[in-house]
Amino acid sequence: MTAQDVNRAGESSRTSLIYDPRVRSIFFQVLLILLLVFGIWWIVDNTIENLRRSNISTGFGFLRGRAGFDISVSLIPYSSDSTYGRAILVGLVNTLVVAVTGIITATILGFLVGVARLSRNWLLRQIATVYVEVFRNIPPLLVIFFWYLGVLSILPAPRDSIELPMGSYLNSRGFYFPRFIWEQGAWLVFAGFVVGLALTWFVARRARARQMATGQQFPVLWTGLGLIFGFPLLGFALAGFPLTLEFPVAGTFNLTGGVNVSPEFLSLYLALSFYTAAFIAEIVRAGILGVSGGQSEAAAALGLRPGKVLRLVIIPQALRIIIPPLTSQYLNLTKNSSLAVAIGYPDLYAIGGTILNQTGQAIEIVVIFMVIYLSISLLTSLFMNWFNARIALKER
C-alpha cells in the first residue's frame, strides 16, 4: 500500500466519523454540557463580584439572627425574639396548611361539579356550567379580593357577631370555634384512631380479595367508619373523657377564648378552593366522557343502578384520565398560595419578603423560595404518580 493510499484511507475514516450519527450525538451533548457549565460559572462569578462591590455578605448565617417582627398567624410557637429561620418555618407551615386544605376542598367540590355538568337535571347542569365558566375565567387574585373585600369584610363587627351552632361565631375578624384542650390519657384516643385506620386498611384489602375471588361485596365504607370512629370513642371512654372545651366568649369589642381563623386565611382558602375546583370539574367531566359509552350500557344491562354504575364502573376507569392533569392543578394551587401577600396572610412568600427587606439577603431568600416550592412540587408529583400507578389497569 502506497503513502497516497494510506492518506486516502485516513481521510475516509475521518469523514465517516464526522457523519457518524452516534459520534455527532456525543459531540453535541458534550458541547451543550460545556456551554451550560460556562453559563452557570459566568452567572455565579458575576453575582459574587457584584456582591463584593456592594459590600453584601453572603451565606445563610443570617437565619440565626433575631427576627424582630411579629406574625399574626402562627401554628407553632413564635415571637419577635425568635430567629429568621423560625419565621421561615412559620411561613412554610402556613403555606402547607392553605395548600392541603385547599386541595382537599377543591377536589371534593370539583368532583361534585364535574359530575353535575353531566347530570340529566337541566337546572343542576346549568348551575354547574355557570360556576365553571365564571371562576375559570377570572384571575385568582380577583377571586381572593372578592372573598376578602366583598364577602368577609362586610360581615358584622364583633359585638354583633353571627352566632352559629356548637358555640361558634362569625364576624369581620374571622371565624371563632371552641378550642379542644386534651388532658392526661388523651393518647388513648389517638392510639384508637391509628388502630381504626390500620384495621380499615386490612378490612379493605380482604374485602377486595374476596370480591375478586367470589364476586361478593362487603360493606367496607360503613365498616371502616365504624372502626375509625369506634376505637377512638372507646379510648376516649377508657381514659375517662380527657377533654374540655374552651368556648369563645363574646365581649364588647372582641371575642376571647376559643380558636380564631383569620379572615385572611378564610379568603385565601375559599378563593383557591373555588378557583381550582372549576378546573378540576372540567378534568373530571373530560375523564368521564373519555370512558366508552358501552361500559355504562353493559353495567345497566346487568341491572346496576345509575349511582352504582358511576361509582363502580365509570369513575374507576375515568381516574386513569383524571389523575395526570389533576396533579398539575394541585401544583398550581400550591404555587398560587403565594398571592396571600396581597391580603396580608403570612405565608412563606410574605414572611420571606419581610426578611429580605430587613437583611438584604436577596439571593439567599430566593434560593430558599426555590428549594421549598420545588420540594413541595416534587413530593406532590411523586405521590400522585404513585397513586396513578396504583389505580392503573393491570392484567391478571
pTM reported for the whole predicted model: 0.83
Cα torsion angle, 271, 275, 278, 284, sign: negative
Amino acid at 370: M
Q: Which of 137, 140, 132, 93 is nearest to 110 (CA)?
A: 132
Paired with 260 in beta bridges are 176
Can you say how many angstroms the Cα of residue 25 is from the centroid of all Cα atoms in its chain? 40
What span, in angstroms and rounded, lies between the C-alpha atoms of 31 and 15?
Answer: 20
Q: Which three cell numbers stand for residue 241?
A: 373523657
Instruction: Tell me which fold the domain 84-178+262-391 belongs to.
Output: MetI-like fold (1.10.3720)
Max CA separation in the chain (angstroms): 110
CB contact set of 372 (below 8 Å; sequence gap of 6+): 92, 348
Q: Which of 43, 77, 98, 63 is nearest to 356 (CA)?
A: 63
pLDDT digits (tens, 9 = 90+) for 250-306: 777 788 888 888 999 999 999 999 999 999 999 999 998 888 878 777 877 877 787
What span, in angstroms and rounded, lies between the C-alpha atoms of 276 and 328?
Answer: 10
pLDDT by residue, tens only, the chain of 396 residues = 555 554 555 555 555 556 667 777 787 788 889 999 999 888 888 877 777 777 767 778 888 889 989 998 888 999 989 999 999 999 999 999 999 999 999 999 999 999 999 888 899 999 999 999 999 999 999 999 999 998 888 888 888 888 888 888 888 888 898 988 888 888 888 988 999 999 999 988 888 888 878 877 788 888 888 988 998 898 888 888 888 888 888 777 788 888 888 999 999 999 999 999 999 999 999 998 888 878 777 877 877 787 778 877 888 888 888 998 999 999 999 999 999 999 989 999 999 999 999 888 888 899 999 999 999 999 999 999 998 888 776 655
The answer to whether the beta carbons of residues 162 and 174 sit under 8 Å apart is no
